[in-house]
Structure 1
């Protein structure tokens, strides 16, 4: 059993222990009527709750296809923990309702299985689960921050390597001008013309494109012209620009409103769980939405 699995077992055991402790302090569901036997019931609830946690882990791993993997980054772990709580809380509530019905209803008739009892249990367990989630988020915050910084550092190193490959490709394309025409036809052209729904067109070198931003019914094309940053407007959609540039793997969507040229990204920065791309020359900070973070990482790693 590796270290990650051991830590998962420890975290789940402590979390269920916190939940059972809260039940022992406030004694809902008529637990106070059982006297000393309350502690035996709490121990059984801990065992059952621990089992439900592993059932949730199985659901996440094999049904939701979300295995526990710290290699996929901090955002993935946070998102997975959220899904764990969303799945686990109703399951634990159902387990406790069944326990109330079959075990605790002898002395407390109100423990019979019903929708009202389920929603009552769900509200209590959801509050406890929220408090436990806050505890672990605070507990692991420093680790998450350290992991996030390390992940960002590795992404920046990979980005530099990708940019070096892109520059090498540009040099090889320049050298390819001496090759036969058939060889040149296999190489994508560096120059392209972007056009919108009107007669306006923008001719540029793909290596000079910085980013494209959606502004209402227009797109703002930020690019270099004779070494100077220039912005031109086209009446077009972001999707149209994305389709026109699909053959250039360095041009990726990082946000609903932005397409960015990774070859022109100076640095990737992470702040409080969010990611931003600092663009060369213009030094604009381009946001990366949570839904596009994994795509950016995938492109950087696979190019």
Structure 2
């Protein structure tokens, strides 16, 4: 209980989702379950008016949760939220909302008959606990599953990246004779000129290059599938694992590699769409 709660329980984005889902759940709960025999309180109104009236009550009561979550989000930025603190926080939300509905039932009694306030509070506490704890539990399970899925996906991507890094890329000439092989983790980019291609790669002395008689089109067709290699220009194939910065300038988009002794690589309009599709797998947007 002294441990720190997961960040997904108080992140602003998830807090908004929790509030919206709880409000929706509460609306369905009060209109389907009709706690306190609330439908009998107003026998003379239509179901539509009852829905509108009950919705207003629920949304007003949800202000307790909205205020609570705003305070929790602000508090979490300054201090860690422990499990016992979070449990106490939820209990305070339940009690606060129960008090709200108790006061409402007290000041707007059924048929003008006043009921015992302790009985009203017990019923309010029970129903409020259902209204809050059930959707909270559902959202917590969802957020937990989402985080674990993201973590597993990240692990798989790391494994895939490690596998790719150990891949040896073979470069034959136009006759099919092998001329050079480069570890993918050392390959920077490939630049072409007519029927020749220059392979830029890292070795012990820094950036080296190797001139090969073969077309960039052949390399695009045979080397870019299931690898981070992508053609971004009629004259360039780049290793996405080596791209440090994608920068939009007046003339278009350029790529800066993580090796300082390399030029910026342009992305042309012809290859923009296919490049951005592959780039999306390497970014968090």
User: Max radius of gyration: which structure?
Assistant: 2
Q: TM-score, normalised by structure 1?
A: 0.38
Q: TM-score, normalised by structure 2?
A: 0.40
